[in-house]
Structure 1
Amino acid sequence: MERNHFSHRHKLKPISSKKPYFCSGCKEPGFERRHRCELCDYDLHKDCMDPHRDETVRHKFFTNSTFRFLSEPPENWPRQKRQRYCYACGKPVKGFFYHDEDGRDLHPSCHKLPSELSVDGVDFTLCDKVLSTCLWCNKKKRARTVSGIRGWSYVSKTKDKERHFHVSCLTELALEAWGKEADNDNELGSALKNVKLPGQRLIGFRISGKKVVKIAKFGLKQIGALL
């Protein structure tokens, strides 16, 4: 059923996508389900279509803080505070975001990151620190992030060793791996269902130790700085 949204003049229709898209609300990538205005090429993923707009919310990593949804920085904020960065991924906040009383910000998609994900049969748990080298970028510190923000990662303990992904790198990996099989509410996890861990095949792209030979054109051209 088509619905109104405060950010757009036309009604938005729920659809399922066979390719990643760029959310017009938070300016971040989305997967599978979205609400769309075909006339304006305007898309919102679920977290931006149905935000906690009139209430405060919490996050398990910040138990003593409450977040409120903002579509843009308030006009009375000082200029130096109007440029925001996501506390989870370290990337700039360019659209909708959640803000707490301690000055922390989260992309809506980062606020809703699943606590657990499975990649190539290995279970990963969301962690509020970056503990080791990322399997995707082969670095501990994520490139193009703010030095004062540590960021989060997904960590897995296997019999042989721990494995780590920056949350933003895992989104890039999901963009590479996207297929037509995504069909559940955990959209990021669904997009990752065909991924193979480094050293194996990754949806037609060869992984060789440190990096993928071919980078997703969608990620480079339309997203730039990803989640």
Structure 2
Amino acid sequence: MKITEINHFSHHHKLELSYSGTPYQCDGCKELGFGSCYQCNNKKCDFHLHENCGVAKPIATHSFFKNSNFKLKKKGKRGKTCKACGKDVQGFMYKSKETYLHPCCLELPSTLNGNFNGGSLRLILEVKASTKCLICQNKEIYKGKLKGWAYISSCGKHCYHVGCVNNMNFENWKM
């Protein structure tokens, strides 16, 4: 069941779950967002949180890190990047030892299903790309500095970095 209204420590007004018809910057993680978000119900406020940032738990786990607990931090660390998408962590983030994740990246679905060339395609979230990403044409993000998570088809022919998929989704949404 979706939570439709929240009081959040990061804002002094109530936030309502709504659909933003235009892109917004999440005031939690500082990443771009579009679609469903928690938005201030005060007309004078322009405050938005991704759904995942709005209902982020103080402590979370992820299946890729079996023996780790991630603690929610309110502010990112300069020069630190999200292990999943490769982008800087500037606002809300989860941290475990030296691993950083955006709240939205921590909650990525383990599989994506879609259509490709008239057939169905199932993509599975993996810790690293096994082949070149079909979007950026690289195996690593940022010229080998960061592996990044990827969605990979069971046949291994289709590989997409999480960060590249996020960028592509935004570009497609703008059209």
Contact kept, 8 Å, 2:139 with 2:147, in 1: the verdict is: no
1:44 alignment partner in structure 2 = 49
In the TM superposition, what whole-angstrom CA distance separates every residue of 1:185-207 from its partner, at most 9, and x where no partner exists? Answer: xxxxxxxxxxxxxxxxxxxxxxx
TM-score (norm 1): 0.66
The reply on whether 1:119 has 2:114 as its aligned counterpart is yes
In structure 1, the partner of 2:169 is 174
Contact 1:130 1:153 (C-alpha < 8 Å) held by counterparts: yes
In the TM superposition, residue 17 of structure 1 has moved relative to its aligned partner by 2.6
- CA RMSD in angstroms, aligned pairs only: 2.1
Q: What is the number of residues matched between the two proteins? A: 166
Cα pair distance change 1:146/1:49, threshold 3 Å: farther
- Checking the alignment, whether the CA contact within 8 Å between 1:71 and 1:97 is kept in structure 2 is yes
Alpha-carbon distance in 2 for matches of 1:27, 1:146: 25
Give the structure 1 partner of residue 94 of structure 2: 98
Which of 89, 98, 107 lines up with 2:102 in the alignment?
107
Following the alignment from structure 1 to structure 2, what is the Cα–Cα distance between the partners of residues 111 and 173? 19
Which of the two has greater strand per residue? 2
Q: 2:82 aligns with which of 86, 95, 102?
A: 86
Where in structure 2 are the equivalents of 1:148-227 lying within 5 Å? 149-158=146-155, 162-178=157-173
1:124 is paired with a residue of what secondary structure? strand
Q: Describe the SS at the equivalent of 1:119.
A: strand
Q: CA deviation at 1:111?
A: 0.3
Deviation at 1:176, TM superposition (A): 2.5
Shift of 1:123: 0.9
Structure number with higher relative contact order (C-alpha < 8 Å, ≥ 6 residues apart): 1
TM-score (norm 2): 0.84
Distance 1:146 1:19 in 2: 34
Q: Deviations over 1:77-111 (max 9, x none)?
A: xxxx65321111221101000001x2211000110
